Amino acid sequence: MIQPTALSVEAGLQAEQDLLAQVCAGEQEFGLLFWQPIDRALVMPRRLSRLTGFEQACLASEANGWPVLLRETGGEPVPQSAATVNIALVYAPPRSEGDQGRIETAYRRLCQPICDLLSELGGTPSLGEVDGAFCDGRFNVNLDGRKMVGTAQRWRQSKGGQRPVGLVHGALLLENERESMVGAVNTFNQAYGLEQRCRAESHIALHEAFAAPDAIARLDSLYRQMLRGFLPV
């Protein structure tokens, strides 16, 4: 049975960047990685580190048990712990697709296998914003109207600048750690002087709704099936 790779949050973020570099260098056609943290951290885009108040907010977060790490993709602060499984999809779109709609297409390619899994399990999946969710976005994957997966992406040029390569990332809440996760985000936001406050009831973990012991193996199969539709996999 396929299980996510156990990594520290810092090592997991680096593994994603390494995968992106390998595809950019032409060492492999695509990358697909499932990883699960062995520690916890509050992960946020590097751009936030350049704003006034960031250092003070980091100290408050670390005192609360959630050290801050920076990532290369966008979005807002996201708590990472053993309750989370991360999905990293790296690929270069076929040249025939062109550049228009590349970002939205990438999000849909990341989200559709998760939605298919939830439908197979008997849930009602959807994409869209959820009031009170942390790192809220148009391409959240939601289960019965509550956020389960947050998404982000980053693009680079391949070696020689011949084509764009995307790292599309999803953070799937597997176990219920909603209260402490929301507390981590709210503590940081308050120390940073941000007005946004999140609510635990706006989120749901996969294992709160379904036992789904084979979920990661099934997702692996669904992603590879999807990739075979447009790449020489």
Helices (H), the chain: 9-24, 54-63, 102-121, 178-192, 206-209, 215-228
Residue 115 is predicted with a pLDDT of 98
Q: How distant, in Å, are the alpha carbons of 98, 197, 203 from that of 160?
A: 18, 44, 42
Sheet holding 5-7, edge to edge: 5-7, 30-37, 84-91, 164-173, 146-157, 141-143, 125-127
Is the pLDDT at 24 greater than 70? The verdict is yes
Q: How many helices (H) and strands (E) does the chain have?
A: 6, 10
Mean per-residue pLDDT over the chain, rounded: 93
Residue 170 is predicted with a pLDDT of 96
Is the pLDDT at 1 greater than 90? The verdict is no
Give the predicted TM-score (pTM) of the model: 0.94
Is the pLDDT at 233 greater than 70? The verdict is no
pLDDT digits (tens, 9 = 90+) for 52-92: 889 999 999 999 999 999 987 767 889 999 999 999 999 99
| Residue 159 pLDDT level (bands cut at 50, 70, 90) | confident
| Residue 50 pLDDT level (bands cut at 50, 70, 90) | confident
